[in-house]
Amino acid sequence: MGNLEQKPPPVEATILRRRAEDQLSARVTEELPAAADEKSRWLTHELSVHQLELEMQNAELRRTRDSLESALERYSALYEFAPVGYLTLDRHGVILAINLQGAALLRIKRSDLVGQIFVHSVPLSGRTLFHSFLERVFATRKKVSCEVSLAPERDLPRYLQVEAAVDPSGECCNMAILDITDRRRTEEMLAGTLCRSEELNKYLDTRVQKAMADLLEKEKMLIVQDRHAVMGEMINNIAHQWRQPLDTLGLIIQKLPLFYGSEEFTRDFLENNTGRAMKLVSYLSRTIDDFRNFFRSDKETSAFGLNQIVEFTISLIEQSFLDQQIRIVCRLEDGLTVNGYPGEFSQVLMNILMNARDTLVQRQVPDGRITLCGFSEEGITVLNVTDNAGGIPEDIIDKIFDPYFSTKGPGQGGGIGLFMSKTIIEKNMGGRLTATNVQGGARLSIEVKNGE
């Protein structure tokens, strides 16, 4: 045997032998009989060391066993009292093991579940799904999850979240089940709430669109109402403009039969008087056209000359200003253009001018004057209308554009003129209409994009 090549002992065995020899050397060694030779002493020493090694190995094994038993108890407690259901199933879905929570979730005694097929706890409608799930678990050898429903409780369905994976042997799978009934019911309630919210949003959107349409319709009606409000003013101006031409036309008609048959009734006399009459008729016709154009509704925005629209608007109401000895002074740059609705712009300017006129008359301002100043600045056309009536009281200057706000007495104005003027300029034409006080009076400024 001495000639055989011996392998070196493992490291653990070497360490164990050293520990055994250390303990042996610490003990009091019994003296061997005198007859004992050196070989006997060596054998006795080896036996003692081997005995100590065995004792140390047994002690280590007992400690390991105690540790494993303690770990097993802890694992068993964790397994049994875990808040999640744990099961072990074979390939056919037979329950091999189940913890307390798993039995509680299935509402069946644990002793009655072991050996039973898990799918029997699933309603018929969900069994095909579970069979497919179990086949995927054993086929993929990866963690697979699904949701299954259980038998209804108090007419309410119950749901489980199931996760499973094959154990290393490949003959069974370990499965975890978690009750997600509350979550599913919350999701269903949330889905119902979202559905109702969408329906409510659609209903509110419809209401808002209808309200907006009604509001736009009312604004259109207010614009028409405001336009009708100035109609009486314009009719008075037209009547005033027509009175003198009609008187003149009447005199011409009366003159013709008086001079007929006399030497003065010549062809030149007849043609001259006929020409004068036709000019008067043309003048009256143009007045009607101006009146009709003012009340024409503009359908689309267009570029128009500011100078022309100011001149046109003043021509419609100028006589009423002259009757009150109020001067209108125009200081407009040449070639100013505005992009918008010329008819509505004229309506706004007429409202502003008539408000200024009424204030001048009400306050009995001598040498009443209204100045129109127009210019272009950074692509914006500005028209300032300034009077010398003393200005707007500070406590109401922020209210003059409010609907139905008026400083006039009952029956002298509905308070929608300036409100609709601001609506036309800012909403319909994308501009600005503001009011400020200046030295000696008030200034209303119209700012709109130019028409270039």
Please state, in angstroms and as integers, the Cα–Cα distance from residue 113 to each residue in 77, 86, 100, 372, 408, following that order.
20, 13, 11, 98, 93
* Confidence (pLDDT) at 238: 66
Residue 234 has pLDDT above 90, yes or no: no
* Confidence (pLDDT) at 184: 87
Higher pLDDT, 245 or 244: 245
* Confidence (pLDDT) at 452: 67
Give 178-184's long-range contacts (Cβ < 8 A, gap of 24+): 178/84, 178/85, 179/105, 180/147, 181/156, 181/157, 183/159, 184/147, 184/159
* Confidence (pLDDT) at 411: 45
Percent of the chain at pLDDT exceeding 70: 81
Confidence of residue 9 (pLDDT cuts 50, 70, 90): low
DSSP-derived 3-state class of residue 364: coil
Confidence of residue 328 (pLDDT cuts 50, 70, 90): very high
Q: How far is CA 133 from the centre of its chain?
A: 42
Confidence of residue 19 (pLDDT cuts 50, 70, 90): confident
Confidence of residue 290 (pLDDT cuts 50, 70, 90): low
Write down the mean pLDDT value for the chain: 82
Please state, in angstroms and as integers, the Cα–Cα distance from residue 446 to each residue in 349, 372, 375, 422, 432, following that order.
9, 11, 11, 9, 6
Residue 248 has pLDDT above 80, yes or no: no
Higher pLDDT, 20 or 175: 175
Rounded CA-CA distance 99/402 in Å is 76
Residue 258 has pLDDT above 90, yes or no: no
Residue 355 has pLDDT above 50, yes or no: yes
* Confidence (pLDDT) at 306: 94
Candidate from 201-205, 213-217, 229-233, 413-417 with smallest mean pLDDT: 413-417
Largest CA distance in the chain: 196
Look-up of token digits 């659609």: 202
Residue 424 has pLDDT above 60, yes or no: yes
pTM of this prediction? 0.46
Rounded CA-CA distance 103/112 in Å is 9
Residue 314 has pLDDT above 80, yes or no: yes
The residues facing 448 across adjacent strands are 381
pLDDT tens readout for residues 375-407: 999 999 999 999 999 999 999 988 888 876 666
pLDDT tens readout for residues 39-72: 777 777 777 777 777 878 888 888 888 788 777 7
**Class of the domain covering 82-179:** alpha beta
* Confidence (pLDDT) at 106: 87
Retrieve residue 415's tokens: 């308070």
* Confidence (pLDDT) at 447: 96
**Class of the domain covering 297-452:** alpha beta
**Helix H or strand E segment including 343:** helix 342-362
Rounded CA-CA distance 166/139 in Å is 9
Q: What is the CA radius of gyration of the chain?
A: 54
pLDDT tens readout for residues 104-120: 888 888 888 999 999 88
Retrieve residue 220's tokens: 């259109």
The dihedral built from the CA positions of residue 140, 143, 146 and 151, taken in this order, carries a sign that is positive
Greatest mean pLDDT among 189-203, 369-383, 389-403, 422-436: 369-383
